[in-house]
Amino acid sequence: MNSRENIAIAESAHALSAAIDSLVSQPLIPVSDNDIVELMQQIETATRKLDALKLDLVVQTCSRSLPKRAGAGSVALFLQDTLRISHGDALNRWHCAEQAAIWPRVGDSAEVSTPAPVLPNTALAQEEGAIGLDHVRVIRQVMDRLPNQVTAEDRALAEEHLARHARALNPNQLPKIGDRILGHLDPDGTLTDDTDRARMRSMRLSPQGFDLMSTMTVVLTPEARAAMDAVLAKLARPGLCNPADPESPFVVDDKLDPEVVKAAAARDTRTTVQRQHDALFALLHPDFNPAHLGSHRGLPVTTILTMSIADVERAAGVATTATGGTVPVAVALEMAARKSKTFSVVTDGNNMPLHIGEARLANPAQRMALIATERGCTRPGCTAPASMAAVHHVTEYIKGGPTDIENLTLACDHCHALVNDTPTGWTTIKLGKDSAFAGRTAWIAPAHIDPTRTPKVNHLHHPDELMATAPAAPPLPARPSRACVPTRMRQRPWVLPRPACPARQ
């Protein structure tokens, strides 16, 4: 890079810093609500473009062997010390730069070649500001999970799908697309089988720290995860198993007074992870009897598996659980065949449940049917699984709505409270036969959120629908050549030796 280019980059960086200083000094109170939202989106897009530049800087750092020259044991440690960032953030930047940034190479003819990154569509979306580093991290994790036997063509197609959906979804929603892709590429478990999963299962308990606390890292098999989810859905509810509340119930059978549980929940200030810790402690306590688990939201505390008849006949694919997890169909069939109490729901090609007679409260059979068809809260954008949702009357019972399966849906407690007749309330309807999602529950947002009042369906619990409704991928434009690097940098000089102290990794 000549001096003129150095000056241009320095001037651009100075102008960027000045623009940020000017922006943060402006008062935001006079800005309208709509302009606040637009400003947030503009800043997020600009930040994502800067994240792409950060990866390019990591590439240059490695290509110039700066960590090695500084005596750092690894790229992550160099970034951590130089930028004063966490080790996890430094590792994430390094791994993302490995796969979502252009790496300059120098050929024998001393001409610079700039091959595409390992994740070309992901890199393009990030440079455009459409996705951020968290999107890149999730896409990289999904791609790392692909079995080695997957062909290069299928691998490239998987990355293209992930990058396309990342433009419309947040990073927490992307793993559902990844699970769908993995299920498509390895539907019968021959590439990644139960032997691999059994080999990867683990539980690591660290030594006690100076504060006497311990860290536990667990890798669960799908079967163990399904069993754990069912127990946590009951024991980790607000108000239960709270060691800080002497009146919190620890014997969680069905004889508990609902008012006592409700009062304990109102006093419960624990976070979700704290409640899960206390639930595990209660489960391990010598005085705890698993038979006291009773029921949860009208169903026994056990694993509920939903699978299609087509997958059962093929003994392939995945079954879904009431908590939103997945289990290989072969494992699900083994679980259903055991004497232990495991509920299995098999759906037909249309995913339609049976009609069940009228009652004030939905019975267990109706709830199982809703779990099988809806899989979670039906309000658009909500990710709450079925285990966190209650049965909701689409047409309210007090308004004459029957407790028939055609008038029932799943809604988590938060979303359920949004349904009311006020100007800010939401409305639920069932879509007719002329709809692309006939029989599904649609939610109508209030006018201040959606002036068109368009009924919308929640696709987050149905990855196949997410893939069908995602925007089309834009074409890949020609990428400009990056700046030249000195010819002495050959044979991947950015690959550093493993540090002498593993503990710092």
When pLDDT is cut at 50, 70 and 90, the band that residue 378 belongs to is: very high
pLDDT digits (tens, 9 = 90+) for 270-329: 998 999 999 888 887 766 655 555 554 544 545 566 665 555 555 556 666 655 566 666
What pLDDT sits at residue 271? 92
Q: What is the pLDDT of residue 135?
A: 92
| DSSP for 325-389, written as a single string | -EEEHHHHHHHHHSSS-EEEEEE-TT-PPPP----SS--HHHHHHHHHHH-B--STT---BGGGE
Mean pLDDT of 332-355: 49
pLDDT band at residue 495 using 50, 70 and 90 as cut-offs = very low
- State pTM to two decimals: 0.48
List the end-to-end C-alpha distance of the chain, in Å, as a whole number: 34
Residue 406's pLDDT is what? 79
pLDDT band at 484 (very low <50, low <70, confident <90, very high): very low
Mean pLDDT of the region 12-40: 88
- Among the listed ranges 339-343, 383-387, 442-446, 468-472, which one has the minimum average pLDDT value? 339-343
What pLDDT does 426 receive? 92
Decide: 202 and 219 in contact? Cβ < 8 Å. Answer: yes
Average pLDDT over residues 441-458: 90
Q: At 164, list the tokens.
A: 């396309």
Q: What is the pLDDT of residue 179?
A: 85
Q: Residue 269 — pLDDT band, cuts 50, 70, 90?
A: very high
At residue 142, φ and ψ (nearest 5 deg) are: -65, -45
The pLDDT tens digits for 34-64 are 889 999 989 989 988 898 888 888 888 888 8
Which residue spans of the chain are classified as CATH 1.10.30?
Answer: 364-460
Q: Does domain 364-460 have CATH number 1.10.30?
A: yes
> Is the pLDDT reported for residue 499 higher than 60?
no
Is 188's pLDDT higher than 70?
A: no
Whole-Å CA distances, 89 to 50, 283, 395: 15, 35, 48
Would you state the pLDDT for residue 118? 82
Place of tokens 């890798």: 219
At 113, is the pLDDT very low, low, confident or very high (cuts 50, 70, 90)?
very low
Higher-scoring residue by pLDDT: 13, 286: 13
